[in-house]
Each structure stands twice: as structure tokens, then as C-alpha cells.
Amino acid sequence: MKIAIYSRGVDKDNMPELNRLFHEITRQHIEPVFFQDFFNQIYCSLELSGQYSTFSSHEDLPADIDAMISLGGDGTMLDTVTFIGDSGIPILGINFGRLGFLANIGKDEITKAIDSISNREYIVDKRSLIHLDANLPLFGKAPFALNEFTIHKKDISPMIKIHTYLNGEFLNTYWADGLIVSTPTGSTGYSLSCNGPVIFPESSSFVITPVSPHNLNIRPIVVPDDNIISFEVEGRTDGFLCTLDSRRELVNMEAQLAVRKESFEIKLIRMNENNFLQTLRNKLSWGLDKRN
């Protein structure tokens, strides 16, 4: 069995847990495949034995990988998605960060998590992605996102006008700082902080949420994810920001942009006892009331 390991980096305080992870991988006779930049940061502090290898991009990720482990927070998980792409490799997120909504396996669960992967005793949740089509090259070979696509004004520039269409039919013009189109997975992220609704992961929908709209009657809206959502942007500057999860590009006002559901899904590994409602309650304090 081979497991790929990705991380942006791990604090020195977490090195004992990291070595415990590699000890469990070795004990289970699993071959680790490290992200090269991460391996360069930690190899002097590792206690490794047995065979291992590295990868640097989606192209050189071995085809026989059984799973990928993301070490970090939710941002690290979103990075991992760009390496996985349409390969179908399931992802396990171990939370070395703060919130850990997507990366919801605690450091104290490392042994149990590796046992579950080794014995293939886990549940796979399939999550839909959002895909960006544009009339200019954006985001290289990964024009997709697990959480959301956004259009946003630059820095301190004035608000922008975002003309929005569903399958070519006019929906609305948003006078706002920006606009979020989130997947069900992303509904608990940036969209939620802008008063968007929480959507169950298996819902076949997108959430369109304005960012600081200059209208009292504008609210988020949920639309079926078989729609193609297109945009025309106006503003007093020569460009705006376009993002897919944590990645961003500066785009000129003449750009033609549209988003749709991606043709493939991402597989997220979860332990049997964890589910979406428990994560909502534990991570976002949903329903918390001191009277209960």
C-alpha cells in the first residue's frame, strides 16, 4: 500500500505527532510518498525507516496511490484537491491547524486513522466541485475548487457591478464588493461568513452569496448545480480578483467568466463515527444554547 502525504509545513511543536504518524505508517508496512517541498522542510527531523519516495505535482503523483493524507488545516485540504484532480484518490485530513472542519481527524486519532486506512475500514464521502470556464487562461491545469469561486473588487477600489446569468437568462445585478458561488461543501466557509445558508454536502446545488451588497433587499440564493452561471463585471478600475478556494488571479474587466459543476468528484475519507451534523455542532457550535 502507498499513501501520499501533503502539507504546507508543520510547526516544531507538532514533530512528535508527525513522527508518531510515520511510525504507524511503517508499522502497517505502508510506503509513504511525500510532497517534495514538505519533505525538504522536515527530513532532518524525521525518524524514517523503509522505502519512501516524493512527488512535486499532479503529473508525477504515482498512479498506484491508495490514499492521500493532508496534514494541516482546511486550507491545506483545499491545496490537496489540486494535486488529486480527477485521479479518484481519497483524501484523509489530519488537523494540524485550527478549525479543522474538513480536516476533522484530530492528532490524537492518528493511530486509529492509519489502522482504518490500512484495513480499508472507512467511509468515503463524495463531494462535488465547481469548475471555471473563461476566455483566457486562468488557474493553470486546476480550474476547479472544492469550496467556492469568487469575484471580488481589488483592495480599496470602489464596489463593482456583477451582472449574473443562469443558463443565459438574467438573474440579477449585484452592486457589491464581490460575489461568492459556493458548493455545498463550501457553504460552511466564506459564504457562511457572508450570511449564506448551510447546505448538506449531498445537496445538488450552488449557493450564490453577495459580499457586502449595497442593497437592503439582496439575499443569498440556492440554485440547482446543473445551471451554468455566467458573469459580466463592471467597475471603475481596470480589473478585479477572481478566486478558486485559496488561489487567486487578477482579471481584466473584459474577461468572460462562467462556472458549472465539475465533471468529477473528490473523495473525502471520514471515520465511521463522524458525520456532517456532528461536525456542525462540534466545530461551528451549531444549535449551542446554554439553556440546553
CATH number for the domain harbouring residue 234: 2.60.200.30
pTM for the complete prediction? 0.92
Range of weakest confidence among 24-28, 55-59, 284-288: 284-288
Give the pLDDT confidence score for residue 33 in this predicted structure. Answer: 94
Q: Are residues 149 and 105 in the same domain?
A: no
Q: 65 and 91: one domain?
A: yes
Same domain, 169 and 122: no
Residue 291 domain-assigned (yes or no): no
Per-residue confidence (pLDDT) for residue 16, from 0 to 100: 85
**Scanning the structure block, which residue is given the C-alpha cell 454536502?**
201
Q: What is the pLDDT of residue 290?
A: 77
Closest CA to 180 of 236, 234, 238, 222: 222
Q: Strand 178-182 vs strand 229-234: parallel, antiparallel, or unpaired?
A: unpaired
Query: What's the whole-number average pLDDT of the chain?
Result: 91
Please pick, among 37, 60, 66, 74, the residue that the annotation labels catalytic: 74
Q: How far apart are CA 234 and CA 231, in angstroms?
A: 10
* Mean pLDDT on 78-92: 94
What are 125-180's pLDDT values in tens digits?
999 999 999 999 999 999 999 999 999 999 888 999 999 999 999 999 999 999 99
Q: Is 74 a catalytic residue?
A: yes
Could you tell me if 46 and 86 lie in one domain? yes
Q: 221 lies in which domain range?
A: 130-261
pLDDT at 105: 86
Q: Are 177 and 152 in contact (CB under 8 A)?
A: yes
Q: What proportion of the chain, given as a percentage, has pLDDT over 70?
A: 98
Helix 15-27 × helix 110-118 angle, to 10°: 30
Q: Binning pLDDT at 50, 70 and 90, where does residue 273 land?
A: low
Task: Calculate mean pLDDT across residues 38-55.
Answer: 82
* Rounded-to-integer distance, Cα 220 and Cα 218, Å: 7
Q: Are residues 256 and 137 in the same domain?
A: yes
User: Which residues have CB under 8 Å from 209's CB, separation 6+?
Assistant: 179, 180, 181, 182, 191, 194, 195, 196, 220
How many whole angstroms separate alpha carbon 132 and alpha carbon 56?
24
Which range scores top for mean pLDDT: 96-100, 213-217, 284-288?
A: 213-217
Burial class for 15, CB neighbours closer than 10 Å (0-12, 13-18, 19+) = middle
